[in-house]
Chain A
Amino acid sequence: MSEETLTLMTWLIPAGPLLVFFIITLFTNRNRTLSWTLAWAGVIASLVLSWTVVANMVGLDVHELAHHPVQYASSIDWLPFGPCPPQEGGNCTLWLDMGVAVDALTAIMLFMVPLAVFMIFVYSVGYHNYGQPRGMIKGVPNHGQEDPLFSRFFALMSLFAGAMLVLVVADNLLLLFVGWEIMGFCSYALIGFWYARDYHLQPGDIPHIPPRQAARKAFMTTRIADVVMLLGIVLFYRSFGTLNFNEAFTLHGFEHAIAGIGLGGIALMPLLLFTGTVGKSAQWPLHAWLPDAMEGPTPVSATIHAAAMVSAGIYMLLRIFPLVAVSLENNPEVGWIIAGIGAFTALMAATIAVAQNDVKGVLAYSTISQLGFMIAAIGVGGYIAAAFHLITHAFFKALLFLSSGSVIHGMEHGAMHVHDHHTDPQDMRYMGGLRHKMPVTFWAFLIGGMALSGLPFITAGFWSKDEIFAHAYHEFTHGNPLGLVVLVMLGLAAFLTAFYTTRQLAMTFAGKPRTPLAEHAHESNKFMTVPLVILAFFAIVLGWLGIPDHFLGQDLGQINFVHHFVLTTIEEPMIELHEAGLTPIDVHEEITWSWVPLITSLVVALGGIGAGWLVYGRKPLQKEQPDPLIRAFGPLHTFLNRKWYWDELYHVLFYRPTVWFSETFASEWVDKGVVDGTLHAIANIVYAIGRYCKRFEEVVISGGVDKIKDGFLYFARESRLLQSGRIQEYVLYSGLIAVALAFMMLFVSIYGGMEWLRGLF
């Protein structure tokens, strides 16, 4: 296929879903069948286009690709941005461009995103009970009969998918930001999808906030990060003079930027942009929105957690990796901040996940934790490892979410059957024994869970996590203490991951049903189970594309496809930068194979699964039996169950002071007090002066003028007919007279009547 065709196809990748959004919103929102068919069509179009592009990319020779990492690039002028600088002639216009480009990193995203999104779309049709009576089943929007919410769901999901694809193919920071923000809005609209829902919680229930609050929280939190990121973009433009990644990230580009703002300014940039990632990918301290985002429908959670949104944060950080790499040379604290936040979040979220009872809540914290793995990897320079884990995680997390949605669906069916609308169908304490009720879901969940735990050699999660450990260990052996910190913290987090995943599997599927809901649960329909099977396939085999070349110390040739392919994205610029002494990272350095990281991954994965099995699997929980961890850990368990009390802390630290500052300080004291107070004081003074003048006038002057006044009174009585007593007419007449006078003067002056007028006087 020709270069031009492929470029055009790259432009068209996001077009399908975006177009579908408008078509559904404007035209087909009353027709459910047409709406989901269109949504499928849009995403299938993206899928076909993307995979064609990806296939062409993979077909290229790796060495060739390293010399020309960017393929199928084209761009158009978008925003005029002032005249050219004087040294370039000055007589042209600078533009901010909108453009697309594909490199290896884009390609692996283009492989993952449309596929995961399509699976989610297929699943959604079943999840929203297509073809069943409306308003009858819990989980269906309860807004009466005629609401076009089903169509709205697919419209917004299409927009979401389109925005993510825009972000992926963007060749510049600005277009990336466009996709980024549209996704932010979509997440707001979709998390708050059931906007009229309210909860009436009983003690002992899992605490929930209503969807519309969760939506606002998600949007606000990510927004805080986004404006900081916007500053980063501004600084980026100021230093590189462009927002295009490939123009900026060259040796020349960096030299220009360093000459402009210095290495200190360069080091600030990745931190500002990284803040955007912290918000979007839900890292501490901006992680609190993601668990609450579970209030949206489960396909939305899957989209946010796997295909789009949180992946976007990591993807952006990978995009600006050369910037991080250059910062590390002079400001190693940048690496400490990024890796530190990642590793801390990974560990913290894993501890919280251990004590959650909401089946989606566990998965939410596991996402936060796994994203921490990727960010920690980037902080120690593990570009490939992070990208690899991003892709494998997307597949097994999508699988896990969709499976959990299937479980919830089954439980809701049970709830309908026994007419129990008080028991929370998402609470794992009320499940149990679903293995036999929902076999397909069980196997899918099991495969996803094992991939998440990193079950050795088989699952994708093992290989990508192992790559992160290997990289961190490599850094440590090459004199970077940060490597050890990351290795230890991520090792602990991985152990907990395996543990809580096993706990979740056991609580959900093992033993006997603990409530009538679980008793009457049944397998979901084909729309929902087929995507599970497909995703489960990828959750296993993808890992085999990333087996290290020197696994177990043997030379296995170039079997690590992911490594060699993705590396081409940054290989050439990074080598140049390294040779110029601008970055400590040498991408050609071989990672010597070592037993230490392998044993670490084996021990934490198997140890975690084993420990989980001992506590929860060997003797499954009985009805009404409390979690064994509660007795073992006591207050610590409560602390973890309440999510380290971050929400409460933020309320006291940020929310309340802001409210005080705006309500009391700014509004009451300054605005009403000082500003208006001054104004009113001046008014009073003027008024008082007026009163004295009036007194003076009454006593001194009026007395003498009374006679004249009488004369005027007579005149006024005569001319009363002119007066209607309506103030507005007075003002209007006087205004009109003024206008008429102006006109007259104009008229007079135009026609030279001034001379005539002068002659008159």
Chain B
Amino acid sequence: MEFPFLSIIALSPIVTAVIILLLPKERGENARMLALAAMILGLLLSLYVYFSYNAALPPADALWGDTLAYLEEYAWIPSVGINYIVGVDGLSATLVLLTSIVGLGGVLISWSIDDRPREFFAFFMLLVAGVQGVFVAVDAFLLFFFYELAVLPMYVMIVIWGWKQTREYAAMKLTLYLLIGSFVSFIAFLVLYFQLPQPTFDLRVWAEANFPFDTQMVTFLPLFFGFAVLAGTFPFHNWSPDGHVAAPTAVSMIHAGVLMKLGAYASMRVGIQILPEGAVYWMPFVILLTLINVVYGSLIAMRQRDMKYLIGYSSVSHMGLVAMGFATLNLKGYTGAGVQMVSHGVMTALFFSVVGMIYDRAHTRDMDQLSGMNKVLSWGAVAFVIGGLVSMGMPGLSGFIAEFPIFVGLWEGNGINFSGAFGLNPGNYYRWIAIISVPAIVITAGYILRAVGSVFFGEYDAEKWHDMRPILPIDKLTLAMFVAILVIIGVYPQIIVPMVESGMTPVIHRLNEAQQAMTILDTVQAGASNLLLWLGGA
């Protein structure tokens, strides 16, 4: 038997949680050491998994089941087809690594937490275990199981350690949205389950299943949207900014950094991969919602005074880009979406850690009150500016590696010619989606610069900010780690792009087959010679 890398990555935090709770109350500070040890172990293992997978990528035409590595398979409830199966493909290996990094950052940032540290770190471990579990699960039941496991600690952590003013409301809103979402997905899944000739929860079987078009059309939306709620898709995005604001720093980091990716990942791996024809049919409609996400999220971010709300709405906007990448229905868009997940994950984790540092010292997050923080938190300022540049897609940083392929994919999607939901034909309007979504990048620049300008620049008032502790070495380490990742991906994209691409290729095969089954592909755009006629789509 191979060494069970993935089980250890996913389950060791749970074991750690149990050990932490068994500690005597007065030895509570040992909790953080244990948590740190677990996170470092997880990071090392996921680094190994990532790079060993990267060293031998599967061929481009492999089925999804064949791209999986580090498979572990144990019978669980064989009579109903539930098994314990874990494994990673290129995308999930990347996301596991992301989770390990953000989890480690979360532990480091919470180093000096003094309110019930035992419970805090125990719940945090459960949260990380839940997220890792979803990424490695190959069995749908296991996936749903870990999915719920990730949601519940969120609730508790927000209610207990959250921001006093909104925590109950936010925690309730978040939990209900996510639970109802996963419930809807699960029902849709069960409907499909009973149509399988050989009922099983093994996603490898599902990934090759061909459901009739009518079934796909009906079940796609609930299956996709149940998960897409967690990715903050309009109009189900509102739990997310509220949740970010109320959560303690480390939870915000995990929440925006990886939890939202979990939604995107599951909606792609379960929703789109299982029901490609449904996806091809519905995505031309979904892209309109993602367009709203992208533009509208950034517009709302622009008027926020509270830094956490600002980042919360910017996450809505950036996760919209991920979903938009999915809606392009081609490999470039999907690869861009995958890179965007990682880039946005690290970037938001960085943002929230900086905001946490500011809030701990200034006891406010109101941008109108803060000013001149550059003076005391210069590391935070530099990190925030770099994160800001990532979020506005500056080339040389990871954001560009994500956004550029998404836009190219969108323009390529313009070559698809068929009639989807409500008679929407991508060939008619995908280029306009690109054109309309582009101002969001400008607006992003607007709110980021406003935040940088008003929080970090301007005059520093030493009287008003009397509680300014210097930044800890451990905080510097965390920020440096995040910045390094953003820069490395931006300068040397080969480290991640082939990996993500290999994880996306099987889905694209499914989508291409679906498109061929449904329509005639027309990859060449109609070429009008006059500029105005061309723009009109003639």
Contact = CB atoms under 8 A, between A and B. Distances in A.
Interface of A: 77-83, 90-91, 93, 174, 177-178, 181-182, 185, 188, 192, 195-196, 198, 212-213, 215-216, 219-220, 223-224, 227-228, 230-231, 233-235, 237-238, 258-265, 267-268, 271, 330-331, 333-334, 658-659, 661-663, 666-667, 670-671, 675-676, 679, 727-729, 731-732, 735-736, 739, 742, 745-746, 749-750
A742 B84 CA distance: 10
Given A82-B332, A231-B434, A331-B531, A739 B74 contact: no
Given A80-B498, A230-B407, A220 B526 contact: no
A234 B407 contact: yes
Contact of B411 (A195, A223, A235, A659): A235
Contacts of A735: 126, 149, 152-153
Contact of A231 (B122, B335, B407, B529): B407
B212 interface: no
Contacts of A331: 530-531
A264 B530 contact: yes
A196 B459 contact: yes
Across the A-B interface, the 5 shortest Cβ-Cβ residue pairs = A262-B527, A264-B534, A263-B529, A662-B299, A267-B531
B76 interface: yes
Given A78-B493, A82-B332, A264 B238 contact: no
Nearest to A238: B411
B412 interface: yes
Given A227-B439, A231-B434, A238 B303 contact: no
B434 A223 contact: no
B396 A196 contact: no
B299 A260 contact: no
Contact of A237 (B74, B408, B439, B530): B408
Nearest to A664: B303
B529 A264 contact: yes
A667 B241 CA distance: 12
Given A263-B530, A675-B238, A749-B76, 20 more contacts: A78-B494, A79-B401, A182-B394, A230-B407, A230-B438, A234-B408, A234-B410, A262-B529, A264-B535, A265-B525, A265-B527, A265-B534, A334-B531, A667-B299, A728-B156, A735-B152, A736-B18, A736-B21, A746-B74, A746-B84
B331 interface: yes
Interface string B392-419: 1111100001001101101110000000
Interface in B493-538: 493-494, 497-498, 501, 524-535
Contact of B442 (A82, A227, A728): A227
Contacts of B441: 223, 227, 230
Contacts of A667: 299-300, 303
B446 interface: yes
Contact of A731 (B156, B411, B459): B156
Given A234-B408, A268-B531, A228 B497 contact: no
Contacts of A659: 303
Contacts of B331: 82-83
A676 B238 contact: yes
A750 B501 contact: no
Interface stretch (B42-50, B186-194, B354-362, B449-457): B449-457
A181 B238 contact: no
A196 B457 contact: yes
A750 B300 CA distance: 52
B74 A750 contact: yes
Contacts of B149: 735, 739
B449 A234 contact: no
Given A223-B445, A264-B531, A746-B76, A666 B300 contact: yes
A228 B407 CA distance: 12
B75 interface: yes
A429 B410 CA distance: 55
A676 B372 CA distance: 35
B51 interface: no
Contacts of B76: 745-746, 749
